[in-house]
Amino acid sequence: MITAKHHPLYVRASDWIMKRLLHRHFRHIRIRSKLDDHKGPVLLLANHFSWWDGFLARYAVTKTLKKKVFVMMLEEELSKHPVLRKVGAFSVRKNSRTATESMDYALKILENPGHLLLLFPQGKFQSLHQYPLEFEKGWFRILERAPKDTKVVFLAALTDYFDHRRPDLTIYLDQATRYSSDGRDSGLTDTAPEKTTKHSEAATFCSPEEAASAYNEFLKNAIEQQNRKANQ
């Protein structure tokens, strides 16, 4: 596998360039975040519909969570763009013996409370108009074995053109526990504060299907917010 090799100069240059490219290609960029402050590691699950996705997620993270970002990429893609190693990308080769090595590397990343690991559970590009999204299963092994203080976060990037040449971009962020089907997200409210410290964010979901269902509920809510905003 190909490991990440952060380089401060490349990270700063990449963030500077991508910020300008994003503002050149999108008319407005809005971040709608419901995240609480978190001192531990973060596992960020995002939708995957465009070339922009990794950069969109990184842009949102630098504005909200202030974590060192790592992203898992297909090995054939990272091999074509090795410079991405220097801004946190590492590789996985699906259906191969080295996939286990990539999973172990991802878990090592999450041992550091200052780290954020970005995954695209769809495993491939899917249309922005597809709903519900379909998740692959292999990534779930990371969630199953993640440290107990790992916070799972959902991200959805949505665009609208309407009567403009350039699209508006809205990035939605929220804690995965708010969409848990077993009620454990009640620990996020004042009605059961004791659950907040006891609940393991990394154990929020029991299966990849349950995680996909929760993400699709989050995505549905984001789309509804997007529609309400458009109709105002």
Query: If you ran DSSP here, which 8-state letter would residue 94 be given?
Result: T
- Does residue 2 sit within a domain? no
pTM, two decimals, is 0.88
pLDDT at 108: 97
Query: If you ran DSSP here, which 8-state letter would residue 131 be given?
Result: S
- Does residue 194 sit within a domain? yes
Within a 10 A sphere around the Cβ of 178, how many other Cβ atoms? 17
- Does residue 184 sit within a domain? yes
CA–CA distance from 178 to each of 55, 117, 159, 214, 217 (Å)? 25, 20, 24, 9, 10
The pLDDT tens digits of the residues spanning 181-201 come to 654 443 333 333 333 333 456
The pLDDT tens digits of the residues spanning 39-60 come to 899 999 999 999 899 999 999 9
pLDDT at 94: 84
Q: If DSSP codes are grouped into helix, strand and coil, which group holds residue 91?
A: strand
- Does residue 1 sit within a domain? no
- Does residue 163 sit within a domain? yes
β-pair type (168-175, 68-74)? unpaired
pLDDT-based confidence at residue 36 (cuts at 50, 70, 90)? confident
The pLDDT tens digits of the residues spanning 210-232 come to 999 999 999 999 999 999 877 77
pLDDT at 184: 45
Task: Say what the alpha-carbon torsion angle 52, 133, 100, 97 is, to the nearest 10 degrees.
Answer: -90
- Does residue 3 sit within a domain? no
pLDDT-based confidence at residue 178 (cuts at 50, 70, 90)? confident
Spatial contact of 47 and 157, defined as CB atoms under 8 Å apart: yes
DSSP of 146-210: S-TTPEEEEEEEEEE-TTSSSPEEEEEEEEGGGG-TTSGGGGGSTT-THHHHH--GGGS-SSHHH
The CATH number covering residue 24 comes to 3.40.1130
- Does residue 158 sit within a domain? yes
Any bridge partners for residue 71, and if so which?
A: 89, 118
Token digits of residue 148:
């107990």
In which domain, by residue range, is 73 found? 8-231
> Looking at the 3D structure of the chain, how many domains does it have?
1
- Does residue 31 sit within a domain? yes
